[in-house]
Amino acid sequence: MFKLFLRNEMEVGEIKAVGKHIYGNLYGCSENVLADPTFLRNVVIKAIEVARAKLVDVEVYSIEGYNAVIGIVLESHISIHAWPYLKYATVDVFTCGKTDPEAAFNYIIETLKPKKYIKNYVDRSNDL
């Protein structure tokens, strides 16, 4: 638990930090799909909708054979990191509150169509 303060340092109460983190590795994706940062950006935006999260911003980075799309949401983030030449990507969905990170992760899997993937889940509010 931590105490929440307004900007003028008035205490408004104690809250629990509660989050669900789903992340994984995607193998055997289409090289062309992973090489298209605009397509990946649209996938992240739709995943945010599917998760019922609130979009704050989306950043796209492309650096020598690597693409990253990071969607910042009010509840945390959703990202895809892609190495097209390896046909490999990682997905990270971390949200708090009344969101559905698993639905977002599953949407990304359905859209990128990897031949194989590994999915991990962590409750980021352990022992609260």
Q: Which residues are catalytic?
A: 76, 81, 96
Residue carrying the six token digits 């639905």: 103
Strand order in the sheet with 76-83: 55-63, 66-73, 76-83, 88-96, 19-27, 116-123
Helix-helix angle 101-112:37-50, to 10 degrees: 150
Q: Which amino acid is at 51?
A: A
How many other C-beta atoms lie within 10 A of the C-beta of residue 110?
10
Contact 16, 4 (CB under 8 A): no
